[in-house]
Structure 1
Amino acid sequence: MTPAPYTPSSVSSFVRQSWRLLVVAIASGGIGITMSVVSPYLVGAYIANRSQGGLALGESTAGALASFEMVATALAAIISASLVTRFRLSCLLIGAGGAIILVNAVSFYGDMSSLWFLRPIAGAAAGIAVGVANAIIARSIDPDRLYGLSSTLGTAMSAFALLLTPYFTAWLGYSGVFLLLGVSAVMLTPIALLLPTHVDLLPPQAKLASPNFLSTSGLFVVATAVLLNLGDGSLYSFSELIGERSGLDKTEIGEVLAIAGLFGVLGALLAATLGSRLGRLAPFAVAVTLKAVGSLVVTTMISPSAFVAMQFLLTCTFYFSIVFLLGLSASIDPRGGLPAMTGGFILLGGSVGPVFGGAVVEHFGYPWFGIGVALCLAAAFACFVIADRLNRAVLVEKI
Structure 2
Amino acid sequence: MLALRTTPWPLVAVFTAGYLPPYLLPTTVGRLDTGLPLSATQAGAVGSALLLSSASAGFLLASRVERAGARTLARFGLALAFLGYGAASLTTAVPAVVAGAVLGGFGSGTATTVAATRIAAERDPHRASTAGLLSVSALAGAVYLTVPHLGRSHGLPLAAIALTALAVWPLTGRLPAGTGTSPAARTTSGPLPHRRSGLVLAVTVLCWSLAQNSLWGVSGRIGLTQAGLGDAALGLVFAVALGAGLMGVLAAGALGPRLGRAMPVGAGTALIAGCIVVSASATTPTAFATGEIAWNTLYPVVLSYLIGLAASLDARGRWAVLVGSASSLGTAAGPLAGSVLSAQAGYAGMGLVLAGGLLLVAVPMTAVALHTGGRPLLPGTIRRRGGTPAALVAAATGTPSGVVPEVGAAEQPVVEIDVDAPALAVRGAYDTAGPRQAAGAPGPGPG
TM-score by length of 1: 0.85
Aligned to 1:116: 98
The structure with more helix, counted as a fraction of residues: 1
Q: Is the 8 A contact 2:84 2:102 kept in 1?
A: no
Aligned to 1:30: 16
Aligned partners of 1:102, 1:318: CA distance in 2, in Å? 31
Answer 1 or 2: higher relative contact order, Cα 8 Å, separation at least 6: 1
Q: Is the 8 A contact 2:29 2:43 kept in 1?
A: yes
Mapping 1:344-359, distance limit 5 Å: 344-359=325-340
Structure whose alpha-carbon radius of gyration is higher: 2
Gaps of 5+ in 1: 1-11, 49-53
Letter in 2 for 1:133: A
1:52-83 superposed Cα distances (whole Å, 9 cap, x missing partner): xx433333333322321122112223333222
Match of 2:220 among 224, 231, 240: 240
Aligned partners of 2:342, 2:87: CA distance in 1, in Å? 40
Letter in 2 for 1:15: L
Aligned partners of 2:63, 2:133: CA distance in 1, in Å? 24
- The verdict on how the C-alpha distance between 1:102 and 1:114 changes in structure 2, with shifts beyond 3 A counting, is same
1:180 corresponds to 2:190:
no
Q: Is the 8 A contact 1:169 1:175 kept in 2?
A: no
- The verdict on how the C-alpha distance between 1:276 and 1:44 changes in structure 2, with shifts beyond 3 A counting, is closer
Match of 1:398 among 385, 408, 411: 408
Aligned partners of 1:329, 1:320: CA distance in 2, in Å? 15
Q: Displacement, 1:100?
A: 2.1
Aligned partners of 2:214, 2:163: CA distance in 1, in Å? 31
1:246-300 superposed Cα distances (whole Å, 9 cap, x missing partner): 2222321221012101211111111111111121111222211211222223333
Aligned to 2:193: 212
Aligned partners of 1:232, 1:183: CA distance in 2, in Å? 27
Q: Is the 8 A contact 1:42 1:177 kept in 2?
A: yes
Q: Is the 8 A contact 1:151 1:268 kept in 2?
A: yes
Aligned partners of 2:298, 2:76: CA distance in 1, in Å? 34
1:192 corresponds to 2:172:
yes
Segment of structure 1 superposing worse, 59-68 or 227-236: 59-68
Q: Is the 8 A contact 1:73 1:127 kept in 2?
A: yes
Mapping 1:66-105, distance limit 5 Å: 66-105=47-86
Letter in 1 for 2:136: G
Aligned partners of 1:176, 1:144: CA distance in 2, in Å? 32
Q: Displacement, 1:129?
A: 0.8
TM-score by length of 2: 0.76
Aligned partners of 2:31, 2:268: CA distance in 1, in Å? 36
Secondary structure at the counterpart of residue 37 of structure 2: coil
Q: Is the 8 A contact 1:212 1:337 kept in 2?
A: no
Q: Displacement, 1:175?
A: 4.3
Aligned to 2:135: 153
Aligned partners of 2:25, 2:211: CA distance in 1, in Å? 20
Match of 1:385 among 345, 352, 366: 366
Match of 1:137 among 83, 107, 119: 119
Q: Is the 8 A contact 2:147 2:157 kept in 1?
A: yes
Aligned to 1:128: 110
Aligned partners of 1:398, 1:98: CA distance in 2, in Å? 41
Secondary structure at the counterpart of residue 212 of structure 1: coil
Letter in 1 for 2:127: R
Mapping 1:219-258, distance limit 5 Å: 219-243=199-223, 244-258=225-239
- The verdict on how the C-alpha distance between 1:224 and 1:254 changes in structure 2, with shifts beyond 3 A counting, is same
- The verdict on how the C-alpha distance between 1:252 and 1:129 changes in structure 2, with shifts beyond 3 A counting, is same
Aligned partners of 1:58, 1:192: CA distance in 2, in Å? 39
Let me know the Cα RMSD of the aligned residues: 2.7
Q: Is the 8 A contact 2:12 2:131 kept in 1?
A: no
Secondary structure at the counterpart of residue 68 of structure 2: coil
Match of 1:337 among 318, 327, 333: 318
Aligned partners of 2:282, 2:143: CA distance in 1, in Å? 33
